[in-house]
């Protein structure tokens, strides 16, 4: 199993490095960001499994960053722990609409932080690991197997990620550029035509089972997965 990736968003270098050091030692793959703007880019580029966000950041607040991430389909369920310095911040975070999954107040021990991270990752794993089912089409995210009934369908890695994204977000239309962002990652510079190429391959793989009809073209808008 590959190491879980954690992004640390904290402008105070000493704290950020202390956290990164401890997470590295605990076997995590760690990325660091100093402000909201670079954090958003890194989340899009590196797709972390969990993000630690400091409350006070130079360009915006951690709370605002959390809200922005939650509005984004790709990050709606991204596990987020907020780092706070004061009790009044805790009140706001524990309020209804913060969007953070947990918070931890400074100063905290590495041990406490690792315990919170472990607990949140355990909580968030099941949803990610559960099979995604649409009609008789099933994706098993643990084994990366795609099956129709008892038959396994062989897909390339990009077709697999594309199908998984579409099946996770059914009955919604995504433009080519949105699909590039969600499936290929932002700041990956490939032409929008690439999406069509992979949709074609995906449909071809599904066609013998009559499941290609689930991947629908919406003229002038993009693509949609619908098993209805
Ligand atoms: Ca700060």
Cβ burial, residue 75 (10 Å; 0-12/13-18/19+)? buried
d(CA 93, CA 39): 19
The rounded Å distance from CA 57 to ligand 1 centre is 5
The rounded Å distance from CA 181 to ligand 1 centre is 29
Per-residue pLDDT of the chain (228 residues; tens, 9 = 90+): 467 899 999 999 999 999 999 999 999 999 999 999 999 999 998 889 999 999 999 998 898 999 999 888 788 889 999 998 877 777 766 654 678 888 888 889 999 999 999 988 877 765 567 788 888 899 998 888 999 988 999 999 899 999 999 998 888 899 998 898 888 877 677 888 899 999 999 999 999 999 999 999 999 999 999 987
Token pair of 226, please? 């619908």
In the chain, the domains with their CATH numbers are 5-124 (3.40.50.2300), 132-225 (1.10.10.10)
The rounded Å distance from CA 58 to ligand 1 centre is 7
Residue 147: closest CA among 129, 133, 168, 167: 133
Asked whether the beta carbons of 7 and 32 are under 8 A apart, the reply is yes
The predicted pLDDT at position 197 comes to 94
The rounded Å distance from CA 45 to ligand 1 centre is 23
The rounded Å distance from CA 56 to ligand 1 centre is 4
Backbone angles phi, psi at 153, to 5 degrees: -105, 135
Residue 8: closest CA among 117, 97, 90, 101: 117
Token pair of 160, please? 């697999």
Asked whether the beta carbons of 120 and 102 are under 8 A apart, the reply is yes
The rounded Å distance from CA 172 to ligand 1 centre is 37
d(CA 202, CA 212): 8
Whole-structure pTM over 0.85, yes or no? no
The rounded Å distance from CA 17 to ligand 1 centre is 13
The rounded Å distance from CA 34 to ligand 1 centre is 9
Q: Pairing state of beta strands 50-54 and 80-84?
A: parallel
């Amino acid at each position: 199993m590959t190491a879980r990736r954690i992004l640390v968003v904290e402008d105070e270098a000493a704290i950020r490095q202390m956290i990164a050091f401890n997470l590295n030692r605990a076997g995590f793959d760690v990325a660091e960001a100093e402000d909201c703007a670079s954090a958003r880019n890194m989340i899009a580029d590196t797709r972390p499994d969990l993000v630690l966000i400091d409350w006070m950041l130079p360009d915006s607040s951690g709370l605002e960053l959390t809200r922005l991430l939650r509005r984004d389909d790709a990050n709606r369920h991204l596990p987020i722990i907020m780092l706070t310095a004061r009790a009044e911040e805790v009140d706001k975070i524990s309020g209804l609409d913060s969007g953070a999954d947990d918070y931890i107040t400074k100063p905290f021990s590495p041990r406490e932080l690792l315990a919170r991270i472990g607990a949140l990752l355990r909580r968030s794993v099941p949803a990610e690991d559960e099979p995604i089912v649409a009609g008789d089409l099933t994706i098993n995210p643990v084994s990366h197997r795609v099956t129709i009934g008892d038959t396994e369908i062989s897909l390339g890695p990009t077709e697999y990620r594309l199908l998984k994204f579409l099946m996770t977000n059914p009955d919604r239309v995504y433009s080519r550029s949105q699909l590039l962002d969600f499936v290929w990652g932002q700041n990956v510079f490939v032409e929008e035509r690439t999406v069509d190429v992979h949709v074609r391959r995906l449909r071809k793989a599904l066609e013998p089972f009559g499941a290609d009809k689930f991947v629908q073209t919406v003229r002038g808008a993009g693509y949609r997965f619908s098993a209805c």
